Each structure stands twice: as C-alpha cells, then as structure tokens.
Amino acid sequence: MTQASKIRNWSVLTTQVDNQPTLNGKFRLSSNSLDYKGNNDDFNDYFSEHEVEVTNGTVRTWDLIRGCDELHDKTGYWGCYIEAFEYRPDTNTIEVHFGS
C-alpha cells in the first residue's frame, strides 16, 4: 500500500486479463476515471506508480491490491470491487475496471 492510502476491503472478482489470456511481464495499472476529488469534471487517465506482475494473463494479487490502492488515492473513487482488466496497448498498461 502507499503511505497515503487507507486500508480498503477489496472484493477481487477476477485476476485474469480479459483481452490477453497469455500476457506476461510487468505493467503499471491504469484507470480512465472522473476526478472524484472534485478538481475537474473530465475523465482522465490515472496510472499506478508500481508495476504488477502478469503471468499467463493472471495478475499477481498483492501487486494488484497495491496498484489499485494507488489509483484510488489518485482518483478519489470509493468503489471497492475490482471487476475486470484489459491490456491497453496504447499505454502499455493494464486498465482496471472498478465498481461500487
């Protein structure tokens, strides 16, 4: 977890990257989200500082939780469900889809 993050009770619905079942490597997480801290009304791309390890399309759980904490700290979003992932070739990241 990042220093500023709160302890969150995550509900991890999947650790499988939806569109790349054979993906391997280390990637940062990303989220295209509103700024829930109220700084603007636009959707923005947010990126984790730490990389997640992906083996055969499966994200390592501890890495996932750490990266999602970072994204929540940046966006201010409250949802605690990690619903899905997709590989984004344009940013070379794993995009996380959150729910509440």
CB 7 within 8 Å of CB 48: no
Task: Identify whether the C-beta of residue 19 lies closer than 8 Å to the C-beta of residue 87.
Answer: yes
pLDDT band at 7 (very low <50, low <70, confident <90, very high): low
pLDDT at 1 over 60: no
**Single pTM value for the model:** 0.82
Question: Of 19, 93, 89, 95, nearest to 57 (Cα)?
Answer: 19
Buried residues in 1-10 as b, exposed as e (16+ CB within 10 A): eeeeeeeeeb
**How does pLDDT run across 50-98, given as a tens digit for each residue?**
999 999 999 888 898 899 999 988 888 888 888 888 999 999 999 998 8
42 has pLDDT over 50: yes
